[in-house]
Amino acid sequence: MMLPIVRQQMIVVRGRTEQERTALARALAGRLTGPTASLSFEAMRDAWLRDPGRDAGDEQALLYRLLKLLAVSFLKDGYSVVLDAPYPPGEAAELRDLLRLARTFRGVRPASVRLGDAAPDAVEDDIVVRGTDGDVEALAREVFARIDAQ
């Protein structure tokens, strides 16, 4: 009897508003099988920065690097990872590096999902979706169908 191969996934949800990203990230994480880590840039920012409301460029850049380390650590331990983070154009290199690192793990399928229009900071194989229109579950199904088609 052959057992199905369970693949880990690393999905980065970025763009648009925090509300839409978080709703989609939660829906995607809820559909994954096996252990899954959900990481949120805003939750980490609010918990770790002294004054998350001010423009703290260096501290926010550090948060992106910490998210990358956390995501890779979870992947190493056999978790799938869903990362909810805006990744503005100045952090596109961090995102590319994270996706490249995730590809080095055997059986890990990384994907970047961008809510909104394609942008100049697009990464390789970006999955661009327009928005939730109130039906987050339908959007999650669309995202997984597009991941499977890659």
3-state SS string over 18-50?
HHHHHHHHHHHHHHCCCCEEEEEHHHHHHHHCC
11-15, 40-44, 45-49, 60-64: segment of lowest average pLDDT? 45-49
In order of their start, the domains of the chain are: 8-149 (3.40.50.300)
Answering whether pTM is above 0.85, one says yes
Return the SS3 of 143: helix
Longest dimension (CA), the chain: 57
pLDDT band at 1 (very low <50, low <70, confident <90, very high): very low
Q: Tell me: the pLDDT tens digits for 87-129?
A: 887 788 889 999 999 999 988 989 999 988 766 667 777 888 8
